[in-house]
Amino acid sequence: MSLAYYPGCSLHGTAREFDESMRAVADALGIEMTEIDDWSCCGASSAHSSNHLLGVALAARNLALAEAEGRDAVVAPCAACFSRLAMARQEVAEDEELAASLPGILERPFDNTVDVLNVVQLLLPYAESIRELVADGPGFSAVGQMKVASYYGCLLVRPVGVAGADDTEVPTTMEQVASACGAQPVAWNMAVECCGGSLSMSRTSSVVRLGRAIIDDARRAGADAIVVACPMCHANLDFRQVARAEDGGTVPVIYLTQLVGLALGIDAEKLGLNRHFVDTSPLLVELADRATSAEADAAAKAAAKATRAGAVV
Amino acid sequence: MESSTLHSNEDDIASAVVRHQEAHGAPHVPASSVRMSLIDEVYARSGVNVRTCYQCGKCSAGCPMMGEMAVRPHVVMHLVQRNQRAEALSCDGIWLCLSCETCSARCPKSADPARVIDTLREMATETNPGLAPRAIGAFNKTFLDQIRSKGRMSEVGLAMQFNLRSGRLLQDATSMPALVSRGKLKINPPSMRDIDDVRRIFANVEAATRDARSKGGYR
Protein backbone atom coordinates (compact mmCIF):
# COMPACT_ATOMS: atom_id res chain seq x y z
CA MET A 1 0.00 0.00 0.00
CA SER A 2 1.32 3.39 -0.99
CA LEU A 3 0.57 5.77 1.87
CA ALA A 4 0.32 9.56 1.76
CA TYR A 5 0.83 11.74 4.83
CA TYR A 6 -1.38 14.76 5.47
CA PRO A 7 -0.02 16.68 8.48
CA GLY A 8 -2.46 19.61 8.32
CA CYS A 9 -1.93 23.07 9.77
CA SER A 10 -1.90 22.24 13.50
CA LEU A 11 0.85 19.66 13.16
CA HIS A 12 3.05 22.38 11.68
CA GLY A 13 2.34 24.64 14.67
CA THR A 14 0.98 24.08 18.15
CA ALA A 15 0.76 20.31 17.68
CA ARG A 16 4.24 19.81 16.31
CA GLU A 17 4.90 17.05 18.85
CA PHE A 18 2.09 15.05 17.19
CA ASP A 19 3.99 15.36 13.89
CA GLU A 20 7.33 14.54 15.52
CA SER A 21 6.02 11.48 17.33
CA MET A 22 4.02 10.32 14.29
CA ARG A 23 7.12 10.37 12.12
CA ALA A 24 9.30 8.71 14.76
CA VAL A 25 6.80 5.91 15.32
CA ALA A 26 6.27 5.38 11.60
CA ASP A 27 10.04 5.02 11.20
CA ALA A 28 10.28 2.56 14.08
CA LEU A 29 7.44 0.42 12.71
CA GLY A 30 8.68 0.55 9.13
CA ILE A 31 5.61 2.47 7.89
CA GLU A 32 6.51 4.40 4.76
CA MET A 33 4.49 7.55 4.23
CA THR A 34 5.08 10.52 1.95
CA GLU A 35 3.84 14.01 2.76
CA ILE A 36 1.40 15.27 0.12
CA ASP A 37 3.28 17.85 -1.92
CA ASP A 38 1.89 21.37 -1.49
CA TRP A 39 -1.11 20.26 0.60
CA SER A 40 -3.58 22.90 1.73
CA CYS A 41 -5.85 23.42 4.74
CA CYS A 42 -8.76 20.95 5.00
CA GLY A 43 -11.14 23.77 5.96
CA ALA A 44 -12.04 22.48 9.44
CA SER A 45 -13.91 23.74 11.33
CA SER A 46 -15.20 26.92 9.72
CA ALA A 47 -15.63 26.07 6.04
CA HIS A 48 -18.41 23.51 6.34
CA SER A 49 -20.57 25.68 8.54
CA SER A 50 -20.19 28.66 6.19
CA ASN A 51 -20.54 27.00 2.79
CA HIS A 52 -21.01 23.26 2.53
CA LEU A 53 -19.51 22.94 -0.95
CA LEU A 54 -16.43 24.87 0.14
CA GLY A 55 -15.93 22.44 3.03
CA VAL A 56 -16.00 19.49 0.65
CA ALA A 57 -13.83 21.16 -2.01
CA LEU A 58 -11.03 22.27 0.34
CA ALA A 59 -10.71 18.74 1.71
CA ALA A 60 -11.06 17.13 -1.73
CA ARG A 61 -8.15 19.13 -3.16
CA ASN A 62 -5.79 17.16 -0.91
CA LEU A 63 -7.38 13.84 -1.84
CA ALA A 64 -6.96 14.76 -5.51
CA LEU A 65 -3.27 15.55 -4.96
CA ALA A 66 -2.69 12.22 -3.18
CA GLU A 67 -4.52 10.48 -6.02
CA ALA A 68 -2.30 12.15 -8.62
CA GLU A 69 0.73 10.98 -6.62
CA GLY A 70 -0.56 7.42 -6.99
CA ARG A 71 -1.40 6.81 -3.32
CA ASP A 72 -3.88 4.19 -2.13
CA ALA A 73 -4.54 5.84 1.20
CA VAL A 74 -3.76 8.95 3.20
CA VAL A 75 -3.20 9.11 6.94
CA ALA A 76 -4.30 12.33 8.66
CA PRO A 77 -3.21 12.25 12.32
CA CYS A 78 -5.25 15.35 13.23
CA ALA A 79 -8.76 14.06 13.97
CA ALA A 80 -10.34 17.20 12.51
CA CYS A 81 -8.42 16.86 9.23
CA PHE A 82 -9.23 13.15 9.17
CA SER A 83 -12.90 13.92 9.62
CA ARG A 84 -13.02 16.54 6.86
CA LEU A 85 -11.12 14.32 4.39
CA ALA A 86 -13.18 11.23 5.24
CA MET A 87 -16.40 13.25 5.04
CA ALA A 88 -15.48 14.62 1.61
CA ARG A 89 -14.62 11.13 0.38
CA GLN A 90 -17.96 9.78 1.57
CA GLU A 91 -20.10 12.65 0.29
CA VAL A 92 -18.50 12.46 -3.14
CA ALA A 93 -19.00 8.69 -3.19
CA GLU A 94 -22.70 9.09 -2.39
CA ASP A 95 -23.52 12.11 -4.55
CA GLU A 96 -22.99 11.75 -8.29
CA GLU A 97 -23.82 15.37 -8.99
CA LEU A 98 -21.21 16.53 -6.49
CA ALA A 99 -18.67 14.05 -7.87
CA ALA A 100 -19.26 15.39 -11.38
CA SER A 101 -18.87 19.02 -10.30
CA LEU A 102 -15.65 18.66 -8.28
CA PRO A 103 -13.05 18.34 -11.06
CA GLY A 104 -14.32 21.68 -12.41
CA ILE A 105 -14.19 23.35 -9.01
CA LEU A 106 -10.76 21.93 -8.17
CA GLU A 107 -9.52 22.41 -11.74
CA ARG A 108 -7.88 19.00 -11.61
CA PRO A 109 -8.96 15.37 -12.12
CA PHE A 110 -10.58 13.73 -9.10
CA ASP A 111 -11.80 10.13 -9.05
CA ASN A 112 -12.09 9.75 -5.26
CA THR A 113 -9.92 6.64 -5.09
CA VAL A 114 -7.83 7.42 -2.00
CA ASP A 115 -8.80 5.88 1.34
CA VAL A 116 -8.61 8.08 4.46
CA LEU A 117 -7.16 6.79 7.75
CA ASN A 118 -6.83 8.30 11.20
CA VAL A 119 -3.87 7.48 13.40
CA VAL A 120 -5.72 4.79 15.37
CA GLN A 121 -6.76 3.04 12.18
CA LEU A 122 -3.18 3.26 10.94
CA LEU A 123 -1.65 1.80 14.11
CA LEU A 124 -4.24 -0.87 14.96
CA PRO A 125 -2.98 -3.40 12.36
CA TYR A 126 0.48 -2.94 13.89
CA ALA A 127 -0.71 -3.85 17.43
CA GLU A 128 0.95 -7.27 17.30
CA SER A 129 4.25 -5.89 15.97
CA ILE A 130 4.17 -3.22 18.67
CA ARG A 131 3.55 -5.91 21.31
CA GLU A 132 6.51 -7.92 20.03
CA LEU A 133 8.80 -4.91 19.70
CA VAL A 134 8.09 -3.58 23.21
CA ALA A 135 8.21 -6.97 24.92
CA ASP A 136 11.97 -6.82 25.42
CA GLY A 137 12.49 -3.18 24.66
CA PRO A 138 13.73 -0.53 27.07
CA GLY A 139 10.40 1.29 27.22
CA PHE A 140 8.31 -1.65 28.28
CA SER A 141 8.69 -1.58 32.03
CA ALA A 142 7.86 2.14 32.40
CA VAL A 143 4.89 2.21 30.02
CA GLY A 144 3.79 -1.07 31.60
CA GLN A 145 3.19 0.90 34.80
CA MET A 146 1.05 3.54 33.10
CA LYS A 147 -2.71 3.73 33.55
CA VAL A 148 -4.23 5.57 30.62
CA ALA A 149 -7.63 7.04 29.84
CA SER A 150 -8.13 6.68 26.08
CA TYR A 151 -9.93 9.78 24.88
CA TYR A 152 -11.56 9.60 21.44
CA GLY A 153 -13.54 12.82 21.62
CA CYS A 154 -15.89 13.39 18.70
CA LEU A 155 -14.20 12.98 15.39
CA LEU A 156 -12.70 9.51 15.80
CA VAL A 157 -16.16 8.06 16.43
CA ARG A 158 -18.59 10.49 14.78
CA PRO A 159 -20.23 11.04 12.35
CA VAL A 160 -21.26 7.39 12.39
CA GLY A 161 -20.36 5.87 9.02
CA VAL A 162 -17.63 8.44 8.36
CA ALA A 163 -15.34 7.88 11.34
CA GLY A 164 -15.39 4.09 10.93
CA ALA A 165 -15.07 3.38 14.67
CA ASP A 166 -15.62 -0.12 16.02
CA ASP A 167 -18.35 1.23 18.31
CA THR A 168 -19.82 4.73 18.51
CA GLU A 169 -20.46 4.81 22.24
CA VAL A 170 -17.90 2.32 23.58
CA PRO A 171 -15.01 2.15 21.12
CA THR A 172 -12.00 -0.03 21.99
CA THR A 173 -9.43 0.54 19.26
CA MET A 174 -7.27 3.06 21.16
CA GLU A 175 -7.33 0.74 24.17
CA GLN A 176 -6.13 -2.08 21.92
CA VAL A 177 -3.15 -0.03 20.77
CA ALA A 178 -2.46 1.16 24.34
CA SER A 179 -2.58 -2.43 25.61
CA ALA A 180 -0.15 -3.50 22.91
CA CYS A 181 2.20 -0.88 24.34
CA GLY A 182 1.87 -2.55 27.74
CA ALA A 183 -0.16 0.33 29.23
CA GLN A 184 -3.25 -0.32 31.32
CA PRO A 185 -6.42 1.33 29.97
CA VAL A 186 -8.81 2.49 32.70
CA ALA A 187 -12.59 2.26 32.51
CA TRP A 188 -14.07 5.75 32.43
CA ASN A 189 -17.12 7.66 31.26
CA MET A 190 -15.90 10.52 29.09
CA ALA A 191 -14.13 8.71 26.23
CA VAL A 192 -16.45 10.00 23.51
CA GLU A 193 -17.62 13.28 25.08
CA CYS A 194 -16.81 16.54 23.27
CA CYS A 195 -14.04 18.82 24.59
CA GLY A 196 -15.52 21.84 22.80
CA GLY A 197 -12.84 21.98 20.10
CA SER A 198 -14.52 24.21 17.54
CA LEU A 199 -15.26 26.99 20.05
CA SER A 200 -11.81 26.95 21.67
CA MET A 201 -11.08 30.55 20.70
CA SER A 202 -14.56 32.01 20.38
CA ARG A 203 -16.08 30.68 23.61
CA THR A 204 -13.20 29.64 25.82
CA SER A 205 -15.25 29.46 29.04
CA SER A 206 -17.40 26.63 27.65
CA VAL A 207 -14.32 24.78 26.53
CA VAL A 208 -12.68 25.03 29.94
CA ARG A 209 -15.87 23.70 31.55
CA LEU A 210 -16.07 20.73 29.15
CA GLY A 211 -12.36 19.94 29.48
CA ARG A 212 -12.57 19.98 33.24
CA ALA A 213 -15.30 17.34 33.33
CA ILE A 214 -13.16 15.09 31.12
CA ILE A 215 -10.04 15.56 33.24
CA ASP A 216 -11.94 15.07 36.51
CA ASP A 217 -13.34 11.77 35.29
CA ALA A 218 -9.92 10.55 34.11
CA ARG A 219 -8.50 11.36 37.55
CA ARG A 220 -11.41 9.66 39.31
CA ALA A 221 -10.71 6.55 37.21
CA GLY A 222 -7.09 6.60 38.38
CA ALA A 223 -5.50 7.48 35.05
CA ASP A 224 -1.87 8.66 35.03
CA ALA A 225 -2.42 10.28 31.65
CA ILE A 226 -5.09 10.97 29.07
CA VAL A 227 -4.21 9.65 25.61
CA VAL A 228 -5.55 11.66 22.67
CA ALA A 229 -5.29 11.67 18.87
CA CYS A 230 -6.44 15.20 18.09
CA PRO A 231 -4.63 18.55 18.38
CA MET A 232 -7.83 20.39 19.36
CA CYS A 233 -8.58 17.90 22.13
CA HIS A 234 -4.97 18.19 23.24
CA ALA A 235 -5.03 21.98 23.37
CA ASN A 236 -8.28 22.01 25.30
CA LEU A 237 -7.21 19.42 27.86
CA ASP A 238 -3.61 20.69 28.19
CA PHE A 239 -3.12 24.35 27.18
CA ARG A 240 -6.64 25.49 28.16
CA GLN A 241 -6.34 23.87 31.60
CA VAL A 242 -2.98 25.39 32.44
CA ALA A 243 -4.52 27.71 35.04
CA ARG A 244 -5.60 24.60 36.86
CA ALA A 245 -2.18 23.00 36.89
CA GLU A 246 -1.23 25.17 39.86
CA ASP A 247 -3.77 23.51 42.16
CA GLY A 248 -2.77 20.05 40.95
CA GLY A 249 -6.08 19.54 39.21
CA THR A 250 -4.67 18.41 35.89
CA VAL A 251 -3.27 15.25 34.39
CA PRO A 252 -0.69 14.88 31.60
CA VAL A 253 -2.23 14.65 28.14
CA ILE A 254 -0.21 12.77 25.56
CA TYR A 255 -0.74 11.76 21.95
CA LEU A 256 -1.27 8.10 21.13
CA THR A 257 1.85 8.27 18.97
CA GLN A 258 3.84 9.50 21.99
CA LEU A 259 2.62 6.53 24.04
CA VAL A 260 3.62 4.12 21.28
CA GLY A 261 6.95 5.91 20.89
CA LEU A 262 7.69 5.67 24.62
CA ALA A 263 6.83 1.98 24.57
CA LEU A 264 9.15 1.46 21.63
CA GLY A 265 11.94 3.10 23.63
CA ILE A 266 12.12 6.32 21.60
CA ASP A 267 13.60 9.26 23.50
CA ALA A 268 10.94 11.40 25.26
CA GLU A 269 12.36 14.62 23.83
CA LYS A 270 12.35 13.24 20.29
CA LEU A 271 8.65 12.52 20.84
CA GLY A 272 8.10 16.13 21.92
CA LEU A 273 6.95 15.20 25.42
CA ASN A 274 8.71 18.33 26.67
CA ARG A 275 6.34 20.56 24.69
CA HIS A 276 3.19 20.07 26.75
CA PHE A 277 1.81 22.61 29.21
CA VAL A 278 1.01 20.02 31.86
CA ASP A 279 4.54 18.82 32.62
CA THR A 280 5.00 15.15 31.70
CA SER A 281 8.43 14.75 33.35
CA PRO A 282 7.16 13.99 36.90
CA LEU A 283 5.03 11.21 35.40
CA LEU A 284 7.98 9.75 33.51
CA VAL A 285 10.07 9.75 36.71
CA GLU A 286 7.20 8.24 38.66
CA LEU A 287 6.72 5.49 36.07
CA ALA A 288 10.42 4.64 36.15
CA ASP A 289 10.24 4.45 39.97
CA ARG A 290 7.20 2.20 39.81
CA ALA A 291 8.95 0.02 37.27
CA THR A 292 12.03 -0.26 39.49
CA SER A 293 10.03 -1.21 42.56
CA ALA A 294 7.90 -3.61 40.52
CA GLU A 295 11.10 -5.28 39.35
CA ALA A 296 12.44 -5.39 42.91
CA ASP A 297 9.14 -6.90 44.12
CA ALA A 298 9.27 -9.50 41.38
CA ALA A 299 12.89 -10.32 42.22
CA ALA A 300 12.09 -10.60 45.95
CA LYS A 301 9.13 -12.87 45.21
CA ALA A 302 11.27 -15.04 42.97
CA ALA A 303 13.95 -15.24 45.65
CA ALA A 304 11.39 -16.13 48.31
CA LYS A 305 9.95 -18.79 46.05
CA ALA A 306 13.42 -20.21 45.45
CA THR A 307 14.07 -20.25 49.21
CA ARG A 308 10.76 -22.04 49.85
CA ALA A 309 11.54 -24.50 47.09
CA GLY A 310 14.98 -25.03 48.66
CA ALA A 311 13.43 -25.56 52.10
CA VAL A 312 11.01 -28.12 50.72
CA VAL A 313 13.84 -30.01 49.06
CA MET B 1 -30.93 8.31 2.53
CA GLU B 2 -33.69 5.87 1.50
CA SER B 3 -34.80 6.59 -2.03
CA SER B 4 -38.51 6.45 -1.12
CA THR B 5 -38.33 9.38 1.31
CA LEU B 6 -36.09 11.19 -1.10
CA HIS B 7 -38.51 11.06 -4.00
CA SER B 8 -41.67 11.75 -2.04
CA ASN B 9 -39.98 14.78 -0.53
CA GLU B 10 -38.80 16.10 -3.85
CA ASP B 11 -42.41 15.84 -5.03
CA ASP B 12 -43.46 17.77 -1.95
CA ILE B 13 -41.03 20.54 -2.78
CA ALA B 14 -42.13 20.72 -6.41
CA SER B 15 -45.80 20.82 -5.46
CA ALA B 16 -45.10 23.39 -2.76
CA VAL B 17 -43.52 25.66 -5.34
CA VAL B 18 -46.47 25.12 -7.71
CA ARG B 19 -48.96 25.81 -4.91
CA HIS B 20 -47.09 28.94 -4.00
CA GLN B 21 -47.09 30.15 -7.58
CA GLU B 22 -50.79 29.39 -8.00
CA ALA B 23 -51.68 31.16 -4.78
CA HIS B 24 -49.73 34.24 -5.74
CA GLY B 25 -50.73 34.10 -9.37
CA ALA B 26 -47.30 34.94 -10.65
CA PRO B 27 -46.05 32.12 -12.88
CA HIS B 28 -43.46 34.45 -14.43
CA VAL B 29 -41.71 35.00 -11.08
CA PRO B 30 -38.18 33.58 -11.32
CA ALA B 31 -37.64 30.55 -9.12
CA SER B 32 -35.06 32.34 -6.99
CA SER B 33 -37.61 34.70 -5.59
CA VAL B 34 -40.03 31.93 -4.65
CA ARG B 35 -39.28 31.17 -1.06
CA MET B 36 -39.96 27.57 -0.21
CA SER B 37 -40.78 26.58 3.34
CA LEU B 38 -37.86 26.30 5.72
CA ILE B 39 -38.25 22.53 6.08
CA ASP B 40 -38.09 22.13 2.29
CA GLU B 41 -35.15 24.45 1.92
CA VAL B 42 -33.23 22.55 4.59
CA TYR B 43 -34.06 19.37 2.71
CA ALA B 44 -33.00 20.84 -0.62
CA ARG B 45 -29.70 22.01 0.79
CA SER B 46 -28.80 19.04 2.99
CA GLY B 47 -30.91 16.06 2.00
CA VAL B 48 -32.15 15.83 5.60
CA ASN B 49 -35.88 15.40 6.06
CA VAL B 50 -36.77 17.18 9.30
CA ARG B 51 -40.36 15.87 9.00
CA THR B 52 -39.12 12.57 10.42
CA CYS B 53 -38.20 14.21 13.75
CA TYR B 54 -40.78 13.25 16.39
CA GLN B 55 -39.45 15.57 19.11
CA CYS B 56 -38.16 12.92 21.51
CA GLY B 57 -35.50 15.34 22.74
CA LYS B 58 -32.65 12.82 22.70
CA CYS B 59 -30.49 15.28 20.75
CA SER B 60 -30.79 17.87 23.50
CA ALA B 61 -30.32 15.29 26.26
CA GLY B 62 -26.87 14.36 24.96
CA CYS B 63 -25.78 17.83 23.85
CA PRO B 64 -22.69 19.04 25.75
CA MET B 65 -23.79 22.67 25.27
CA MET B 66 -27.43 22.17 26.25
CA GLY B 67 -27.02 23.93 29.59
CA GLU B 68 -25.78 27.08 27.86
CA MET B 69 -28.44 27.20 25.15
CA ALA B 70 -31.74 29.05 25.33
CA VAL B 71 -32.89 27.21 22.21
CA ARG B 72 -31.84 23.56 22.41
CA PRO B 73 -31.33 21.20 19.47
CA HIS B 74 -34.78 19.57 19.55
CA VAL B 75 -36.34 23.05 19.64
CA VAL B 76 -34.23 24.04 16.61
CA MET B 77 -35.71 21.01 14.84
CA HIS B 78 -39.18 22.12 15.91
CA LEU B 79 -38.59 25.67 14.62
CA VAL B 80 -37.73 24.17 11.24
CA GLN B 81 -40.86 22.03 11.31
CA ARG B 82 -42.97 25.09 12.15
CA ASN B 83 -41.37 27.17 9.40
CA GLN B 84 -40.12 29.76 11.90
CA ARG B 85 -37.31 30.95 9.68
CA ALA B 86 -36.24 34.09 11.51
CA GLU B 87 -36.21 32.34 14.89
CA ALA B 88 -34.29 29.35 13.54
CA LEU B 89 -31.61 31.46 11.85
CA SER B 90 -31.03 33.73 14.82
CA CYS B 91 -31.32 31.36 17.80
CA ASP B 92 -28.28 30.80 20.00
CA GLY B 93 -28.52 27.03 19.65
CA ILE B 94 -27.18 26.94 16.10
CA TRP B 95 -24.17 29.07 17.02
CA LEU B 96 -23.30 27.27 20.27
CA CYS B 97 -23.34 23.91 18.46
CA LEU B 98 -19.86 22.37 18.59
CA SER B 99 -20.48 20.05 15.62
CA CYS B 100 -19.65 17.17 17.98
CA GLU B 101 -22.30 15.10 16.16
CA THR B 102 -23.50 13.37 19.35
CA CYS B 103 -27.11 14.29 18.50
CA SER B 104 -26.92 12.82 15.02
CA ALA B 105 -25.20 9.65 16.24
CA ARG B 106 -28.03 9.04 18.71
CA CYS B 107 -31.06 10.30 16.76
CA PRO B 108 -33.55 7.39 16.57
CA LYS B 109 -35.00 8.81 13.35
CA SER B 110 -31.71 9.66 11.60
CA ALA B 111 -32.98 13.24 11.36
CA ASP B 112 -29.35 14.44 11.65
CA PRO B 113 -29.70 17.58 13.82
CA ALA B 114 -25.97 18.37 13.40
CA ARG B 115 -26.34 18.59 9.63
CA VAL B 116 -29.54 20.62 9.99
CA ILE B 117 -27.74 23.07 12.29
CA ASP B 118 -24.80 23.30 9.88
CA THR B 119 -27.28 24.06 7.10
CA LEU B 120 -29.02 26.73 9.18
CA ARG B 121 -25.65 28.37 9.89
CA GLU B 122 -24.87 28.34 6.19
CA MET B 123 -28.27 29.94 5.46
CA ALA B 124 -27.81 32.51 8.22
CA THR B 125 -24.35 33.42 6.90
CA GLU B 126 -25.83 33.98 3.44
CA THR B 127 -28.80 35.94 4.76
CA ASN B 128 -27.02 38.18 7.22
CA PRO B 129 -23.51 37.55 8.58
CA GLY B 130 -24.46 39.68 11.59
CA LEU B 131 -26.71 36.89 12.89
CA ALA B 132 -23.73 35.03 14.35
CA PRO B 133 -22.50 36.10 17.78
CA ARG B 134 -19.55 38.44 17.27
CA ALA B 135 -16.79 36.13 18.50
CA ILE B 136 -18.06 33.10 16.61
CA GLY B 137 -18.61 35.02 13.39
CA ALA B 138 -15.19 36.61 13.80
CA PHE B 139 -13.56 33.22 14.22
CA ASN B 140 -15.18 31.73 11.12
CA LYS B 141 -14.41 34.77 8.99
CA THR B 142 -10.80 34.95 10.18
CA PHE B 143 -10.30 31.24 9.61
CA LEU B 144 -11.59 31.37 6.03
CA ASP B 145 -9.64 34.57 5.27
CA GLN B 146 -6.49 32.79 6.44
CA ILE B 147 -7.04 29.87 4.09
CA ARG B 148 -7.92 32.15 1.20
CA SER B 149 -4.82 34.29 1.63
CA LYS B 150 -2.27 31.63 2.63
CA GLY B 151 -3.74 28.28 1.62
CA ARG B 152 -2.97 27.10 5.12
CA MET B 153 -4.01 28.28 8.54
CA SER B 154 -1.38 30.12 10.55
CA GLU B 155 -2.26 29.81 14.22
CA VAL B 156 -0.47 33.05 15.13
CA GLY B 157 -2.25 34.94 12.36
CA LEU B 158 -5.55 33.33 13.30
CA ALA B 159 -5.21 34.30 16.96
CA MET B 160 -4.10 37.87 16.24
CA GLN B 161 -6.72 38.63 13.62
CA PHE B 162 -9.39 36.91 15.69
CA ASN B 163 -8.55 39.13 18.66
CA LEU B 164 -8.80 42.23 16.49
CA ARG B 165 -12.10 41.21 14.93
CA SER B 166 -13.73 39.98 18.12
CA GLY B 167 -12.53 42.91 20.22
CA ARG B 168 -10.76 40.56 22.65
CA LEU B 169 -7.42 42.19 22.12
CA LEU B 170 -5.55 40.39 24.83
CA GLN B 171 -7.06 36.92 24.68
CA ASP B 172 -4.30 34.31 25.04
CA ALA B 173 -1.68 37.08 24.85
CA THR B 174 -0.19 35.98 28.18
CA SER B 175 0.26 32.46 26.78
CA MET B 176 2.43 33.61 23.90
CA PRO B 177 5.80 33.36 25.69
CA ALA B 178 4.98 29.86 26.93
CA LEU B 179 3.93 28.80 23.44
CA VAL B 180 7.15 30.22 21.99
CA SER B 181 9.36 28.52 24.58
CA ARG B 182 7.73 25.20 23.73
CA GLY B 183 8.50 25.74 20.06
CA LYS B 184 4.77 25.71 19.30
CA LEU B 185 4.44 29.09 17.64
CA LYS B 186 5.79 29.71 14.22
CA ILE B 187 5.32 33.26 13.04
CA ASN B 188 5.82 32.16 9.45
CA PRO B 189 4.89 28.51 9.08
CA PRO B 190 6.07 26.85 5.84
CA SER B 191 3.78 28.28 3.21
CA MET B 192 2.20 26.74 0.17
CA ARG B 193 3.74 27.24 -3.25
CA ASP B 194 0.55 27.41 -5.27
CA ILE B 195 -1.78 29.56 -3.18
CA ASP B 196 -3.62 30.60 -6.34
CA ASP B 197 -4.81 27.01 -6.67
CA VAL B 198 -6.71 27.39 -3.39
CA ARG B 199 -7.95 30.87 -4.29
CA ARG B 200 -9.39 29.44 -7.51
CA ILE B 201 -11.32 26.89 -5.42
CA PHE B 202 -12.84 29.73 -3.39
CA ALA B 203 -13.74 31.59 -6.58
CA ASN B 204 -15.18 28.49 -8.26
CA VAL B 205 -17.23 27.59 -5.18
CA GLU B 206 -18.57 31.14 -4.99
CA ALA B 207 -19.50 31.06 -8.67
CA ALA B 208 -21.14 27.63 -8.34
CA THR B 209 -23.07 28.76 -5.26
CA ARG B 210 -24.26 31.96 -6.98
CA ASP B 211 -25.22 29.99 -10.04
CA ALA B 212 -27.16 27.39 -8.03
CA ARG B 213 -28.99 30.02 -5.98
CA SER B 214 -29.93 32.04 -9.07
CA LYS B 215 -31.57 28.94 -10.50
CA GLY B 216 -33.44 28.39 -7.27
CA GLY B 217 -31.34 25.32 -6.45
CA TYR B 218 -29.24 24.71 -3.42
CA ARG B 219 -26.83 21.89 -4.13
Digit-coded pLDDT (tens) for B86-102: 999 999 999 999 999 99
Nearest CA distance, A305 vs chain B (angstrom): 49
* Residue A27 in this model has a pLDDT that exceeds 50: yes
Q: What pLDDT is attached to residue A138? A: 67
The SS3 of residue A112 is coil
Which of B139, B178, B186 minimises the CB distance to A202? B139
CB A81 within 8 A of CB A6: yes
Please report the pLDDT score of residue A200 as a whole number: 81
Residue A243 pLDDT class (50, 70, 90 cuts): confident
pLDDT of residue A173: 97
Whether the predicted pLDDT of B29 surpasses 50 = no
Task: Grade residue A55 by pLDDT with cuts at 50, 70 and 90.
Answer: very high
CB-closest option in A10, A105, A199 to B98: A199
B136 and A97 within 8 Å at the Cβ level: the answer is no
Query: Which residues are registered as beta bridge partners of A3?
Result: A33, A73
Cα–Cα distance for residue pair A289/A282, rounded to 1 Å: 10
Chain A residues inside the 8 Å CB shell of B158: 201
pLDDT at B129: 85
Cis peptide before A159 (omega within 30 of 0): yes
If you measure CA to CA, which chain B residue comes closest to A51?
B122
More confident residue, B158 or A96: A96
- pLDDT tens for each residue of A173-182: 999 999 999 9
Most confident of A67-81, A293-307, B153-167: A67-81
Q: Which of A39, A105, A168 sits opposite B105 (nearest CB)?
A: A168
Strand ranges of the sheet holding A33-35, from the earlier edge strand across to the other edge: A33-35, A3-5, A73-75, A115-117
| Cα–Cα distance, A156 to A194 (Å, whole number) | 11
At B175, the pLDDT band (50, 70, 90 cuts) reads confident
What pLDDT, on the 0 to 100 scale, is given for residue B51?
Answer: 98
Q: What is the pTM of this model?
A: 0.89
CB atoms A14 and B198 under 8 Å: no
A313: exposed, middle or buried (C-beta count within 10 Å: 0-12, 13-18, 19+)? exposed
Give the containing element (helix H, strand E) for A253.
Answer: strand A253-255
Please list every residue in chain B whose beta carbon sits closer than 8 Å to the beta carbon of residue A102.
none
Q: Region A285-302: what's the mean pLDDT?
A: 90
Angle at B211 between CA B208 and CA B215, to 5 degrees: 140
**B27 neighbors B211 (Cβ within 8 angstroms):** no
Higher pLDDT, A270 or A50: A270
Confidence of residue A312 (pLDDT cuts 50, 70, 90): low
Average the pLDDT over A84-95 and give the result: 97
Query: Residue A284 — pLDDT band, cuts 50, 70, 90?
Result: very high
Chain B residue with minimum CA distance to A193:
B64
Taking an 8 Å cut-off on Cβ atoms, the answer to whether A9 and B179 are in contact is no
Average per-residue pLDDT for chain A: 93
* pLDDT above 70: percentage of residues in chain A: 97
**Across the interface, do B101 and A158 touch by the CB < 8 Å criterion?**
yes
Q: B47-62: per-residue pLDDT in tens?
A: 999 999 999 999 999 9
Q: Tell me, what's the ipTM?
A: 0.90
Contact B197 A107 (CB under 8 A): yes
Contact at CB, B162 and A61, closer than 8 angstroms: no
Q: Which range has the top average pLDDT, A67-71, A134-138, A195-199, B33-37?
A: A67-71
**Alpha-carbon span B208 to B215, nearest angstrom:** 11
> Please, which pLDDT band fits residue B107 given cuts at 50, 70 and 90?
very high
Of the partner residues A50, A105, A201, the one whose CB lies closest to the CB of residue B201: A105
What is the percent of chain A with per-residue pLDDT over 90, rounded to a whole number? 81
pLDDT at B202 over 90: yes
Query: Closest chain B residue to A106 measured between Cα atoms?
Result: B201
